[in-house]
Amino acid sequence: MQCENCHANLLSTATVCRECRTIVRYNVRGFDNTKKVQRLLKVMINEQADRIRDEDSLISIIYDYLPECETERRILKKMINGGVLEDLVATQDPKAQFAFERKRMVRELGATKNEAEFTLASLGYMLGYPYPSPLRVIQDPASLAAEAKKDPSLLIDHKIFRKLDAFKFRLSRAISVKEGYTKLDGYCFDGFGIARTISMPKTLRVIGEYAFSDCKHIEEMTIPSGVKKIEKGAFNACVGLKKLKLPKDLIDIGDNTFFCCTSLETLKIPEKVSSIGENAFSGCGNLKTLVIAQQVKFVDDNAFAYCPNLTIVCYENSYIHKYCLQNRIKFKTLAAGTALPDV
């Protein structure tokens, strides 16, 4: 079996790809449309999260996205009205909650075991929770023992903070993502104009594309030290952002990451960063000092467009020093071996 995203080889019972962290879709016994429903629910959340106000609006949108899945729609409606989704969204322990909801759906909501498994597999995928259903349809059961013995590390779990999780903070001034989450999904806090502060968990490893785009009133942010990847546009148009500390293990600054962060004045680029993408700091009109280490080997031509007050602090004869000379950017050089200043 292969990952549908990166095509890496997967164990037949894997819940998540170890290479790209994509959750694996699968069919539940008796529901040959499970994979289709999972995919459409994910598309629905990405496209319609801002329209979801309550259970009624969610169910209405689900009906729009699953026009040919009458049986599945009926089951999801009954279970959502029964509080299953609400409980899954609120839980801090998905594994225990799955077990509780499985029993409750059968005992209290009148679901068959197959219907309960279909519901958990579908809603779990939509929320970003890998769920190992005991009624999963395995295409090649004869190879299970061999696969598990060969590569047991394929069964790796993770936890993504998605737009649906972020929705409850839509009208909050203070955002706090609890411990355990490893990734902020793309666009999860996009346009949260009321937010003033954001607290991220120490377990965080990835900040998705445009995750904080257009959060106009956040002035200060500390990114956890374990974050290694900040995807493109993550802080696009955060016009109030003044102070930011980047994690030491960050490896690149992607396209549009700080585009039009007009209040940002100083920033130190971590020493492991090797590239700075297109328009990464374009439009940062008040950016005065940017400290960049010697590891940087690529900077896009438009990375610092419309930064009239910028001075780059770098090592003499480094790539970024030569870049500044070629692009007529003000700079201050340091001798090799000199410690980079903090800003």
Task: Give the residue-averaged pLDDT of 1-11.
Answer: 72
CB count within 10 Å of CB 2 equals: 10
Quick one: pLDDT at residue 48? 84
Taking the whole predicted model, whether its pTM rises above 0.75 is answered as no
Locus of tokens 């955002």:
175
Phi, psi dihedral angles at 136 (to 5 degrees)? -65, 140
Alpha-carbon span 2 to 7, nearest angstrom: 5
For residues 184 and 162, is the Cβ–Cβ distance under 8 A? no
The number of angstroms, rounded, from the C-alpha of 151 to the middle of its chain's C-alpha atoms is 27
Quick one: pLDDT at residue 149? 46
Closest to 97 (Cα-Cα) out of 89, 106, 88, 105: 88
Give the Cα-Cα-Cα angle 225, 259, 306 (nearest 5 degrees).
130
Quick one: pLDDT at residue 3? 76
Size of the chain, expressed as the number of residues it contains: 343
Give the Cα-Cα-Cα angle 142, 32, 50 (nearest 5 degrees).
120
Which of the pair, 141 or 72, is modelled with greater confidence? 72
DSSP 33-72: THHHHHHHHHHHHHHHGGG--SHHHHHHHHHHH-TT-HHH
For residues 312 and 331, is the Cβ–Cβ distance under 8 A? yes
Quick one: pLDDT at residue 158? 62
Quick one: pLDDT at residue 100? 96
Residue 36 structure tokens: 């289709």
Task: Give the residue-averaged pLDDT of 99-127.
Answer: 95
